[in-house]
Amino acid sequence: MSKQKLTAAGGTEPRSALLQALLDKDTMLEFDDPLGSDMVLNMGPQHPATHGVLRLLIRLDGETVVRAIPDVGYLHRGYEKLAESCSYHEFIPHTDRLDYLSPISNNVAYVLAVEKLLGIEAPPRAQYIRVIGAELSRLASHLVWFGSMAMDVGALTLLLWTFRERERIQDIWDILTGVRFTTSFARIGGLAQDMSDESAQMTKEFIDQLPKNLDECESLLNKNRIFIGRCDGIGILSKEDAIAMSASGPVLRGSGVARDIRRDEPYLVYPELDFDVITFDGCDSLSRYYVRLNEMRESIKIIRQALEKMPKGPVSAQEPKRVLPKKERIYTKMEELIHDFMLINFGINPPVGEVYHAIESSKGELGFYIISDGRGHPWRLKIRSPSFMNIQALPIMLKGGMISDIVAIIGSIDPVMGEADK
Amino acid sequence: MESIQAILNNPYVFAALMALAPLLWILPYALFAIWFERKVSAHMQDRLGPMRTGGWHGWSQSIADLVKLLLKEDLIPAKSKHGLFMLAPYVVFVGSYAAYAVIPFTSAYVGSEINVGIFYFVAVSSLVVVGILMGAWSSNNKWSLFGAMRSAAQIVSYEIPGTLAILAVVMVVGSLSLQDIVRAQEGWFWNWFVFGKFPFLFIAFLIYFLCSLAEVNRTPFDIPEAESELVAGYHTEYSGMRFAMFYLAEYANMFAVSAVAVTLFFGGWQSPFGTFLSGPAWGVFWFLSKGMGFIFLQMWLRWTLPRLRVDQLMYVNWKVLMPFAFVNIIFVGLWMMIAQ
Amino acid sequence: MDFVDIIFVVFALIVVVSAFIVVFSRSIIRSAFSLLFTFFGVAGLYVLLNADFLAVTQVLIYVGGILILILFGVMLTTNVVSVEIKTGTLQTVPAAVIVAVLSGTIAGIFWFTEWHTAPAREGPTTKALGTLFMTDYLLPFEIASILLLVALIGAAMIARHERGTEGGR
């Protein structure tokens, strides 16, 4: 066994020596094991606890992890390449499918990058609705994480409880965007539609009852010795390592680094809203657990303020050559028909240049880097996906842990493979 | 009619019938318990569980599942050790079924009235481990092997404090026979050992109950089949009827340990109200309903608690349960001496 | 033939056949698993001899303890997942000589010993065994327990030591 060459890339096809050396540096599982007492275990992509199709190659000594190598790409759909043949509008639905647990966040992140490229801004009401949508999707994503984290350590009931809450968010989305799951809600320069009073009322009712239900869910775990024992002190990612591995979001804040793009590089109307950046400096799974838990309460706070402060007004910028007009106007007004025809057939043609814009999504820093050559579709679009970056830190966290810890650590990173594999 | 009587009077035929009698309970019980577990879990999780099959609350769901499993293709992995792979589920079931030989369902029926009853129970339940190791090793799968290793380590370790807890009862009664132990708890429910010999046997009961959870691989000690870690543990490669045998064995085992807990600490087939509603027929009723109470408790725990890690599991066993069990035994001994 | 005799023959066959598999099987694991049936058969024979306590002890100690230990040993010490463990035949001639001498000796002992036979005693043996342990055989019993305790501590020490070095590497 020790003689076998085991690499994450795994293939047998010949590679150039340099490429192989580069791959080996990070992906080799082969090292001295004269007694042959170690075991190489393949975890995933078909495994109940790897959150989709994450694959891990693990070298084990007994139940202890000697080395672990994550292998991504099983959900690769080539979105970055696909973007190069989509118009800017056409790419919006694809962003839903990145982090499919928080679709509105992704929509917002993408359109903000495009708006930055165009130099336009959405009207205030649209910005508030975007904030509400993004925070709702943070809640939805964290609720799913909460349940599946509990399930990873063996508490099966909580998943259904948090899904019940998430279901209410999806009902809100149903009214707000017309779709429950893949919302495609944001538009360049605004939103697909205004927030109705009904959806605002639903959102309000939802955030009013959520804290109570969250308390109920937490009561199953927060004082549970087994749960704390399973999460405390495992998956250590020191502050320095977290920064070096470019971790972001709750993973970074769980290592005691107070970085939150909503506060550090404000976008939308976040500066006008009052919220705290949650950090815990335990650097372990438990800290990341508490970071997310408390973030949910901050999100509730943000949504409540945004609902109160939200002004009346239009939800689309007055930029006829950039922003898609309303359907009913296209059917009745000549000018809108012409703009629609031009926008659909030739795109928005932003100025030549490159732009990077990142938002704080539920998983961390979600950034879109766009290079435009002045035509209707991006010349290059790069997605900086937080899950992908956070998975980079897995080998550090897993080393020295046990098999049971692996799932608790993956759970605390909360990767969504749709986003990591793009 | 007379010939039937004559056949029944034949001691060997009678022995065979006695040996088969627990099966009359295990099979319907397992079907019911699987349905019941789904309902319990569903209601704990804000769901309804199976609602369609058979009409009323999906009562025949587990029958449908059983038929499905029976008709399913019997998959045997090409690189497994075929003989052992096929044998293993039955070894596991034999282990749990053999334990039923000494369980006193009522004052009139016990499969085999042997005077080392509880000792026999402890001994044969270790057969389950061999079956699990057999199945896991022969499936030639790393996940199975991990599950089996964990399972063996867990069951063998938890047997020790469990047996020590049983020993406390045996010391009080002065007999290893389960019927004698039940008879020693005659009268109203405060004569049951769990209440009657407070607190020593109450502690013994807690220790025994925890160990029995570990012995049947239920949460929080379900690490051998921890689905989020080991896929399905030792029965990862099994499907169809052989998987059903593992399942049946697990449920049979659940009731067996509950039955022993009932017998040792909750008065067995004794009525909780002295002589009121007592007798062999009522004895069956009391015994089974107490046993099902424990089954419900096991399900309740399973759908509430997370599971322990391997090292924490061993910690609980060796550093918590063992000292308590030993100290408890010493105190029971002292107390027995003083009481006499 | 009496019913008990039939049962005896069945148990005896189980013991002998499975013992043969233990010895002649080329796969160590298969041998270990056949040992299960040998132990059970022997336990059955004990039952037929009215030694109920002994029979249950046989199952508890040999099946629940020693067999699992053997399986653990085999599974842990070698690469079960990838390499097939086989036992081969070595040194045929010396082995044959030793076997012949040994079986001759045993046969001789069987032949020349005067066996004292007594009718089987009915009834439970547990109490009698316990009394004997605490009276006539107290010293051997205690010495055996101390021996086991020492072995236990020794095993724990060795395990601890190994773990320490592993942590250091």
Chain A residue numbers touching C162 (CB-CB < 8 A): none
Tell me which residue of A79, A82, A91 sits closest to A347, measured CA to CA: A91
Work out the minimum CA distance from C76 to partner chain A, whole angstroms. Answer: 8
Residue of A nearest to C78 (CA): A37
pLDDT digits (tens, 9 = 90+) for A285-306: 889 999 999 999 999 989 999 8
Whole-number Å distance between alpha carbons of C64 and B122? 9
User: In the structure encoding, which two tokens stand for residue A194, read together?
Assistant: 């205004």
Task: Identify the chains in contact with B, defined as 3+ C-beta pairs within 8 A.
Answer: A, C
CATH of domain C1-81: 1.20.120.1200
Interface test with A, best of B305, B310, B313, B314 (most A CBs within 10 A): B305
Tell me which residue of A84, A174, A10, A123 sits closest to A372, measured CA to CA: A84
Q: Which parts of chain B sit beneath pLDDT 70? A: 1-2, 198, 226
Give the A window 152-191 contacts with B, CB below 8 Å: 152-157, 159-161, 164
A339 pLDDT above the threshold of 60 = yes
CB distance from C104 to chain B under 8 Å? no
User: In the structure encoding, which two tokens stand for residue C120, read together?
Assistant: 């089987």
A9 pLDDT above the threshold of 50 = no
pLDDT range class, residue A26, cuts 50, 70, 90 = low
Among the listed ranges A57-66, B190-199, C94-103, which one has the minimum average pLDDT value?
B190-199
Give the A window 33-92 contacts with B, CB below 8 Å: 39, 41, 47-49, 63
Whole-number Å distance between alpha carbons of A258 and A278? 7
Chain C residue numbers touching B114 (CB-CB < 8 A): 52
- The reply to whether residue B231 touches residue A153, judged by beta carbons under 8 angstroms, is no
Work out the minimum CA distance from B219 to partner chain A, whole angstroms. Answer: 8
Chain C residue numbers touching A36 (CB-CB < 8 A): 79
- The reply to whether residue B312 touches residue A63, judged by beta carbons under 8 angstroms, is no
pLDDT digits (tens, 9 = 90+) for C4-39: 788 888 889 999 999 988 888 777 777 888 888 898
pLDDT range class, residue A6, cuts 50, 70, 90 = very low
- The reply to whether residue A405 touches residue B309, judged by beta carbons under 8 angstroms, is yes
Whole-number Å distance between alpha carbons of A325 and A317? 10
* Domain positions in chain B: 33-71, 73-339
Half-sphere exposure for C127 (CA within 13 Å, toward CB): 7
Work out the minimum CA distance from C39 to partner chain A, whole angstroms. Answer: 30
pLDDT above 70 covers what percent of chain A? 91
* Domain positions in chain C: 1-81, 137-169
CB distance from B11 to chain A under 8 Å? no
Q: What's the pLDDT score for residue C106? A: 92
CB distance from A63 to chain C under 8 Å? no
Average pLDDT estimate for C127-148: 88
Q: What's the pLDDT score for residue A18? A: 58
Chains B, C: CB pairs < 8 Å: 70
- The reply to whether residue B156 touches residue C81, judged by beta carbons under 8 angstroms, is no
pLDDT digits (tens, 9 = 90+) for A105-157: 999 999 999 988 888 888 888 989 999 999 999 999 999 999 888 888 888 88
> Cβ contacts of residue C164 below 8 Å, gap of 6+?
none
Q: What's the pLDDT score for residue C165? A: 46
- Output the pTM of the full model: 0.82
* Domain positions in chain A: 79-316+352-386
Nearest CB to B228 within list A41, A48, A224 = A48
Tell me which residue of A52, A6, A42 sits closest to A388, measured CA to CA: A52
What sign does the dihedral C120-C121-C125-C129 (CA atoms) show? negative
CB distance from B310 to chain A under 8 Å? yes
Give the C window 64-83 contacts with A, CB below 8 Å: 79, 81-82
A1 pLDDT above the threshold of 60 = no
What is the phi/psi pair of residue B197, to 5°? -105, 50
pLDDT digits (tens, 9 = 90+) for A236-260: 888 888 888 888 889 988 888 888 8
Residue of A nearest to C167 (CA): A400
Work out the minimum CA distance from C111 to partner chain B, whole angstroms. Answer: 36
Correct CATH for A79-316+352-386 of 3.40.50.1370, 3.40.50.2300, 3.40.718.10, 1.10.645.10: 1.10.645.10
- The reply to whether residue C79 touches residue A61, judged by beta carbons under 8 angstroms, is no
CB distance from A61 to chain C under 8 Å? yes
Q: What's the pLDDT score for residue C162? A: 58
Q: What's the pLDDT score for residue C151? A: 92
Residue of C nearest to B115 (CA): C124
Give the A window 335-374 contacts with B, CB below 8 Å: none
Residue of A nearest to B224 (CA): A404
Work out the minimum CA distance from B229 to partner chain A, whole angstroms. Answer: 6
Chain A residue numbers touching C81 (CB-CB < 8 A): 39
Q: What's the pLDDT score for residue C169? A: 30
